[in-house]
């Protein structure tokens, strides 16, 4: 998309803002998505990719290299002079080749491209705490927005319910391909999404109306979940005792708790099976999230974290990774003190960092994480580390680095091909390969 000067929106029927610039942007996005979708059918499972520079993110970059993908997996990678391209393989060429881009936090697939009620499933407003909401039940793999972000090289997204409720629901990890969510699925569920910020506040008499109430409500639900797990464990233990022949057959079995999807899901936090993804931007909210995680011994992923640079020592001591807000996010409300250098400062301190596209309340509902990384590269991260935040480091935080995030033998054949530096706005993504299949290709 080309840059546009800001225009004052006007109001049309239904109270929705509209301007010529927004209409033009929407048309361009839709056209791009249609082109990407048109080439989204799998083209050849056996692919060889030649690159003048291949950034493997598993070691040193390769000059004049080749990646061989056989049956969806990388089977060979190295200098072109040393790698034989098998007969019959489709050969793609590009100036720069990278692993498929990994977006560490998005709502794409739940927040649709139309910005209309029928395709906005990212946030359920009926209650403040709803961990039982599954992203897999709301994800739409057919939404054109998926094809659009894929056209920039994004092959894997961590997506789900958006910030805005105290606990909004679950997240999942998918590839940006497939006609069904099952075809796209990598991990489900991946995390439980929570919000500790003014976004989650309600107008009286609804709760939570203050930050103190937010934390109190979370603590209450986690205590209930702990008690639920204890009752379930006790019932299971007495049932086992009755059947093991150890003389306890006359014991009165403990009554199992009535099934509760909310408490079951929160129980996965307490069991360590799922992390709590907490969107918190102000330092005081970040500190509250750290205290909560310590009290209940739960795994925490910080999301947004605009003022994380004020709590570097505390975050590092807690061993918590940070999925930093989009670099170019608007510096308003809880993000008023954000910095373009936050990712660089956290990385310099040894804190695991990834970047994200995030959620926007206006069309096209998301940013392109590739461009967010480019801005971070220009503000202290540098090229290699910025690329890591949207490839291997993002994959490590999401615990999917065994499959994606770098180019190595045995990993998924997910690649992005560019005609120049991928962080340069004038460069183009020529083709995208997912699981060894060409799913997007730029018309020549």
pLDDT tens, position by position, 183-230 = 999 999 999 999 999 888 888 888 898 999 999 999 999 999 999 999
Residue 6 predicted with pLDDT over 90: no
Residue 154 pLDDT level (bands cut at 50, 70, 90): very high
Token pair for 352: 């695991």
User: Rounded mean pLDDT of 405-425?
Assistant: 97
> What are the C-alpha distances in Å from 167 to residues 59, 104, 315?
39, 19, 22
User: Rounded mean pLDDT of 289-313?
Assistant: 97
Quote the radius of gyration of the chain (alpha carbons, Å).
23
Residue 399 predicted with pLDDT over 50: yes
- In angstroms, the CA 253 to CA 220 distance is 28
- In angstroms, the CA 361 to CA 112 distance is 11
Residue 166 predicted with pLDDT over 90: yes
Residue of 66, 57, 53, 157 lying closest to 105 (CA atoms): 157
* Choice between 311 and 198, residue whose per-residue pLDDT is larger: 311
User: Rounded mean pLDDT of 251-268?
Assistant: 87
Residue 271 predicted with pLDDT over 90: yes
User: Rounded mean pLDDT of 120-145?
Assistant: 90
Architecture of the domain made up of 15-99+405-444: Roll (2.30)
Token pair for 402: 């065994």
pLDDT at 88 (0 to 100):
92
**C-beta pairs of 113-119 under 8 Å, 24+ apart in sequence:** 113/29, 113/30, 113/33, 113/143, 113/144, 113/145, 113/148, 113/363, 113/364, 113/365, 115/362, 115/363, 115/365, 119/143
- In angstroms, the CA 226 to CA 355 distance is 33
Sign of the C-alpha dihedral computed for residues 10, 16, 21 and 24 taken in this order: negative
Contact between residue 352 and residue 105 where contact means Cβ atoms under 8 Å apart = no
Q: What percent of the chain lies above the pLDDT cut of 70?
A: 86
- Classified as helix, coil or strand, 144 is helix
The C-alpha angle with vertex 438 and arms to 435 and 439, in degrees rounded to 5, equals 90
Q: In which element (H, E) is residue 233 found? A: helix 211-242
Q: What percent of the chain lies above the pLDDT cut of 90?
A: 71
Residue 418 pLDDT level (bands cut at 50, 70, 90): very high
Residue 8 pLDDT level (bands cut at 50, 70, 90): very low
User: Rounded mean pLDDT of 244-266?
Assistant: 75
Mean confidence (pLDDT) of the chain = 87
User: Rounded mean pLDDT of 367-386?
Assistant: 95
pLDDT at 250 (0 to 100):
55
Predicted confidence (pLDDT) per residue in 96-119, tens digit: 999 999 999 999 999 888 777 777
- In angstroms, the CA 96 to CA 63 distance is 10
Residue 13 predicted with pLDDT over 60: no
Fold of 101-404: TIM Barrel (3.20.20)
pTM score, whole prediction: 0.87
* Choice between 405 and 2, residue whose per-residue pLDDT is larger: 405
Residue 242 pLDDT level (bands cut at 50, 70, 90): low
Residue 337 predicted with pLDDT over 60: yes
With the CA atoms of 75, 81, 82 and 88 taken in that order, what torsion angle do they form, in degrees rounded to the nearest 10?
A: 40
**Parallel, antiparallel, or unpaired: how do β-strands 415-418 and 353-355 relate?**
unpaired
User: Domain ranges in the chain?
Assistant: 15-99+405-444, 101-404
> What are the C-alpha distances in Å from 19 to residues 210, 270, 365?
36, 48, 16
DSSP 71: T
Picking from 24-38, 304-318, 350-364, which range would have the lowest pLDDT averaged per residue?
24-38
Residue 369 predicted with pLDDT over 90: yes
Helix, strand, coil percent values for the chain (each to nearest 5): 35, 25, 45
pLDDT at 3 (0 to 100):
35
- In angstroms, the CA 302 to CA 276 distance is 8
User: Rounded mean pLDDT of 158-175?
Assistant: 94
- In angstroms, the CA 116 to CA 414 distance is 32
Residue 38 predicted with pLDDT over 50: no
pLDDT at 305 (0 to 100):
96
pLDDT at 162 (0 to 100):
86
pLDDT at 45 (0 to 100):
64
* Choice between 117 and 306, residue whose per-residue pLDDT is larger: 306
């Amino acid at each position: 998309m080309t840059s546009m000067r800001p225009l004052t929106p006007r109001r049309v029927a239904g109270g929705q803002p509209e301007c010529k610039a927004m209409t033009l942007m929407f048309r361009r996005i839709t056209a791009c998505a249609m082109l990407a979708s048109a080439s989204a059918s799998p083209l050849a499972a056996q692919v060889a990719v030649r690159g003048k520079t291949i950034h493997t993110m598993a070691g040193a970059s390769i000059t004049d290299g080749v990646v061989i993908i056989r049956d969806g997996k990388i089977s060979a990678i190295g200098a072109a002079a040393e790698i034989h391209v098998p007969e019959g393989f489709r050969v793609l060429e590009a100036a720069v080749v990278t692993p498929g881009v990994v977006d560490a936090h998005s709502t794409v697939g739940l927040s649709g491209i139309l910005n209309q009620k029928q395709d906005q499933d990212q946030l359920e407003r009926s209650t403040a705490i709803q961990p039982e909401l599954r992203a897999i039940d709301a994800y739409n793999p057919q939404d054109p927005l998926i094809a659009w972000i894929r056209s920039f090289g994004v092959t894997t997204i961590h997506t789900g319910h958006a910030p805005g409720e105290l606990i909004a629901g679950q997240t999942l990890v998918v590839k940006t391909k497939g006609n069904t969510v099952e075809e796209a699925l990598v991990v489900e569920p991946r995390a439980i999404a929570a919000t500790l910020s003014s976004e989650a506040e309600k107008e009286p008499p609804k709760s939570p109306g203050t930050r103190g109430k937010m934390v109190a409500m979370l603590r209450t639900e986690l205590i209930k979940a702990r008690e639920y797990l204890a009752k379930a464990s006790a019932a299971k233990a007495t049932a086992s005792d009755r059947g093991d022949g150890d003389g306890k057959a006359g014991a009165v079995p403990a009554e199992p708790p009535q099934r509760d999807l909310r408490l079951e899901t929160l129980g996965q936090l307490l069991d360590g099976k799922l992390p709590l993804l907490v969107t918190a931007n102000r330092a005081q909210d970040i500190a509250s999230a750290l205290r909560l995680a310590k009290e209940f011994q739960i795994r925490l992923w910080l999301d947004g974290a605009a003022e994380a640079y004020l709590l570097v020592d505390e975050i590092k001591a807690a061993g918590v990774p940070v999925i930093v807000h989009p670099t170019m996010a608007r510096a308003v409300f809880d993000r008023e003190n954000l910095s373009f250098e936050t990712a660089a400062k956290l990385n310099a301190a040894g804190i695991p960092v990834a970047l994200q596209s995030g959620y926007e309340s206006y069309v096209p509902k998301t940013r392109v994480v590739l461009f967010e990384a480019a801005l971070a590269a220009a503000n202290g991260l540098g090229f290699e580390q910025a690329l890591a935040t949207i490839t291997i480091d993002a994959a490590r935080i999401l615990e999917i680095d065994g499959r994606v995030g770098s180019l190595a033998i045995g990993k998924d054949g997910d690649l992005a091909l560019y005609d120049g530096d991928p962080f340069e706005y004038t460069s183009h993504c020529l083709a995208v390969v997912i699981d060894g299949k060409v799913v997007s290709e730029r018309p020549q």
